[in-house]
Structure 1
Amino acid sequence: MDNTYDLIIIGGGPAGLTAGIYGGRAKLKTLIINKGTIGGMVDNTREIVNYPGYINVSGPDLMSDFKKHAESFGVEFLKDEVVSTDFSQDLKKVMTKKKKELFAKAVIIAAGNEPRLLNIPGEKELRGNGVAYCATCDAEFFEGEDVVVVGSGDQAIEEGMFITKFARKVTVIVLHDEGVLDCNKVSAEKAFQNEKMEFVWNSTIEEVLGDENVVGVKIKNLRTGTSSTLECQGVFFFVGMIPATHFLKDSSIEMDHRGYIPVNDLMETNLSGVYAVGDNRVKYLRQVVSAAGDGAVAAVAAERYIEELESFQNNIMNSDKKVLLVFFNASNTESLEFSALMEELCQEHSQEYKLVKVDMATKKNLAEKYEVTNAPAVVMLEKGVKIKQLQCCMDKASLAIQL
């Protein structure tokens, strides 16, 4: 069907686009759903100088290259917003704001996260033109300039100190009384000792000033109610990040208290066939290069999952015979010998049984489905339903009795 895919990727940032490249190259029918501009937060980055192979490139240009690469492998794109999902069946269901119902054998969640906004005048208008949310991404582009940092938590103070490596001066706007920061004590002490950092206490920012680029900020003193203007060329907001995972509220996907998705080294979530990559997952480094790595891993894992799913349907569910699932470990001699013995036995009972060999290293989903933890093991199925598990031994006659 037109609305059914092998792989649906929710999000068109670097993680989602890389997953699309790998999915398309694997000949999977792949769809990327993106609600905004392709590239996510990267689209707001003026220059990127730490992505391998690009000495200096803008965020939009780099993401354009990612998109072209994905399109060259036949990846489809849909500009829409995912509002709900149903991952309870083998064929996952995705519903969009434009009332589309889409289905896929596997889904990769690459929705990213977004900075918590103060929604003050000038903030959105000057984003990418002096307004920034990532010091690692943008600090060096304010070499020798004056920068304002909004926030006093760990991220704000630590990122602010990083910005001082480039900026002439960093002014931190703090809600609290003088000397009170929300960050840890060690970072606070270092910040107070940093000659390039200054603090404006009991204050908040009311407006970002500028037409095409930031030229200053309007600051309000919370004690006196008076406002003042501070000239600067950059404003970094560090008042928190929000994972864009609100649409997963009723999906049974496991998330932490902040809304980030924990995954394993294959980017697998707690639900089979559903993966999470990039900034919306629990991770240490949120950069373009690490997001791309996530996308590659998830797409390869999804490809193998889909192969396993199709194999299960073709070889097990559609079989008119009972199926003997023989789980083996390719690196274990005894396991391989047992597997060969089961092949002989199944040939002798070929009218009644069909043998399907399962390598525990590559088809772990089947092992989990039938609660097999060690190889060798044999599970008897009828139309995918487990009848019993055989006691493994190297005696063909004893095995035959169990059939």
Structure 2
Amino acid sequence: MATAAPETATVRQWLSANARPVIDTDPGYTGPDLDALIDRLGSATVVGLGESTRFSRQIYGVQERVFRALVERHGFRELAIQDSARSGERWDRYVRAGEGDPASVLAGSWRPWRTAETVAALEWIRAFNEAHPDDQVGVFGVQPPSAEPADYDIVLDHVRRVAPDRLAAMDAHLAPIRTAHQVDEHVQRHQGIHPGRPFAEHARDASALLETLPGTTEDVERHMRLILDFHKNSVAGQGGFARDERPAAQRVIDRQRATGSKIVYWDGIAHTTNLRLGMGTAEFRGVGAYLHDEFGPGYVSVALGFHHGDLGVAKAPAPLPDLVDAILGSVDLPAYYLDLSEPAPDAVREWLAGPAKARVISGVYDPAKDAEANITVASLAGAFDVLVHIRETSPVHWLADQ
């Protein structure tokens, strides 16, 4: 899918005229620069805040600024995160009741969440809830319950009790694959540190071994099933990023129906976009497309991207000319947002309605293959309602054990 060639001068003039500066990307900044954006989003039922990368401190900062303002000014009371239901429940128990502390809460979370920036977000929600005990913000994960490191320990402890002679065999399967909870299996392959055998195969063999042992309880079997499902359903286990996201979308829909709350949904732009998208040779329909079907204009998709900079995992160069990020970078502002519903001349409307290619950088990003780090959508304005553009990025702050 090729990006539509715009009438460059006209588009650039419109971008410059309609770009609204973001004065500060620090989540604690409360200036009026985002007021028009917050008012635009405030009437929505669900707002998808999608980032082009999870490694940018500035993108995360704007996301959190928007989230905080929607909570404080427009009554949003649920945060949906890209993580398992178990992880979301821990977040929720902390922000509502102060159970645990942010570092321990995040220890079992998906690795991109294990940053100082997420700690600050959890602490802010907790402080808000303490100040509003009868009107609290909740958190939930959009993915089903998933394996965590403690599940492996439960299985191993069981084998140690009932069949110590089989412990080494079980550990030979579980020891390599539990590393996926620190570094995703597909990222391990990208980094050249993968031990070789697919983790889903190890998990299947571990499950088969468990079935031969005496005294295995239903509870231990449940933990083993979580381990097996985790590896079967991982990016590496499925052979790619594309998967059916309808169940995750349904969890958001069900939560909204059950609570009546307005929801902010944090995820990557590939998941929050309103439209089916292309990623390499694969196509899939993300959570946002299903939410758009369900809520119509009540679902608003915000895409947060950047031009270039340090992501910690790599330094991203200026985007290639065929990416929408390149023309967005022509605006002489360090950070800004753009409402795609603003009036525009025909040439600009044609560009917005046409297909677009947008930068997406994941944990397997290779600057030498920068041309492959993108998604394609059939229409820029159909896919996203608002664009946020950061000129230069710096990395998030990983927690000490990361």
The two structures have a TM-score, normalised by structure 1, of 0.28
**Bigger fraction of residues in strand:** 1
Query: Which has the greater radius of gyration?
Result: 1
**Bigger fraction of residues in helix:** 2
User: Which one scores higher on RCO, CA 8 angstroms, separation ≥ 6?
Assistant: 2
